[in-house]
């Protein structure tokens, strides 16, 4: 799924969605970084990840407080 979203991002910005090993060098290629971020956001939206993280962290804090009693 990540690769599909990544390649669709290439098509979306007009840089082509065909895999080209040469385009991956150097790794800090701005287009590749952008397409990676688009794919990541598509699969795990940052807002939902942050909300889940905060919820899990709050649960951990409450659990630790309960165990301390």
- Please tell me the predicted confidence (pLDDT) of residue 63: 78
- Please tell me the predicted confidence (pLDDT) of residue 9: 94
- Please tell me the predicted confidence (pLDDT) of residue 68: 60
Phi, psi for 28 (deg, rounded to 5): -85, 20
Q: What is the pTM of this model?
A: 0.63
And the tokens for 41?
A: 């956001």
DSSP annotation of 27: T
Q: Per-residue pLDDT tens, the chain, 69 aa: give them.
A: 999 999 999 999 998 655 666 665 556 688 889 999 999 999 999 999 999 989 988 888 777 766 665
């Amino acid at each position: 799924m990540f690769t599909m979203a990544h390649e669709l991002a290439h098509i979306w910005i007009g840089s082509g969605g065909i895999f080209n090993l040469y385009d991956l060098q150097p790794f800090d290629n701005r287009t590749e970084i952008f397409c990676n971020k688009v794919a990541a956001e598509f699969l795990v939206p940052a807002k939902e990840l942050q909300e889940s993280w905060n919820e899990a962290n709050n649960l951990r804090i409450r659990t630790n407080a309960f165990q301390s009693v």
